[in-house]
């Protein structure tokens, strides 16, 4: 299979088998919650949600869903689009949405590139990419999602004057992201002092990947870029 440099999804999608209940939810609830990329995106993304929303945020690769769900609970008037190809993680979030009845989240369970290409220009108020797969071996760095093509995609969909937020505990990926965003005309790093990358954003819930980083004595960094 030919590798796509553009930062499309690599790696496994399935882990442990799902329980019968979660399998049923994935078959019945996920289609209702999912973006339909076969249809054109609405020019007003608020129309994707069953409740009125004042802004729309995007999280690419939500992992265990801790951050996505936390932001949805604390901001019921914000619509969140969550992208995650790993089946177990998606099933966990679908289960929580079913139990709690949250109505301000839409999901996509495949390559985030597809969503970024589908979204209208300047339609996202805030974008997160938290603890993406670091591909630590240098020969695999081309697989990292942050690259010139995908920064072009982010730049197209994030509204000017709004933020792209990135977190990682892998030093080479932090440096990689700083370099690529520095070299991209549409992004400006907002840090003015060390706390601006050492401390997470307000009302930060933490994630399972961050907890693992702390256990393994790696230090997370939190980068904020302005879409200029």
| Active site residue ranges | 133
**CA distances (Å), origin 189, targets 35, 111, 132, 185:** 31, 26, 19, 11
> Nearest CA to 141 among 189, 196, 91, 179?
179
Q: What is d(CA 22, CA 225) in angstroms, rounded to the nearest whole number?
A: 37
Tokens of 215: 């256990």
Q: Three-state DSSP class for 112?
A: helix
> For residue 54, how many C-alpha atoms fall within 13 Å in the half-sphere facing its CB?
3
CA angle 25, 28, 34 (to 5 degrees): 95
**Contact predicate 180/148, CB 8 Å:** yes
Q: State the DSSP string of 26-75.
A: HHHTHHHHB--TTSPPPSSGGGGSSS--SEEEEEE--TTSHHHHHHHHH-
What tokens were used for 181? 């965003």
Bridge partners of 165, per DSSP, are 128, 224
Strand 55-60 to 124-130 pairing: parallel
């Amino acid at each position: 299979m030919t590798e796509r440099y553009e930062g499309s999804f690599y790696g496994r999608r399935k882990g442990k088998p799902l329980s019968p209940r979660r399998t049923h939810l994935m078959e019945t609830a996920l289609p209702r919650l999912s973006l339909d990329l076969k249809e054109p995106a609405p020019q007003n993304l608020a129309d994707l949600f069953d409740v009125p929303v004042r802004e729309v945020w995007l999280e690419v690769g939500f992992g265990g869903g801790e951050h996505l769900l936390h932001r949805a609970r604390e901001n019921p008037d914000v619509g969140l689009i969550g992208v995650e190809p790993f089946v177990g993680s998606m099933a966990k979030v679908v289960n929580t949405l079913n139990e709690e009845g949250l109505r301000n989240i839409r999901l996509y369970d495949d390559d985030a590139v597809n969503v970024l290409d589908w979204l209208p220009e300047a339609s996202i108020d805030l974008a997160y990419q938290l603890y993406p797969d670091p591909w630590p071996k240098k020969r695999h760095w081309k697989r990292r999602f942050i690259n010139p093509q995908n920064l072009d995609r982010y730049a197209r969909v994030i509204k000017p004057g709004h933020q792209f937020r990135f977190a990682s505990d892998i030093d080479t990926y932090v440096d990689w992201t700083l370099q690529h965003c520095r070299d991209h005309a549409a992004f400006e790093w907002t840090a003015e002092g060390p706390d601006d990358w050492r401390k997470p954003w307000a009302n930060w819930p933490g994630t399972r990947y961050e907890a693992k980083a702390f256990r393994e004595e790696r230090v997370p960094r939190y980068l904020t870029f302005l879409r200029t």
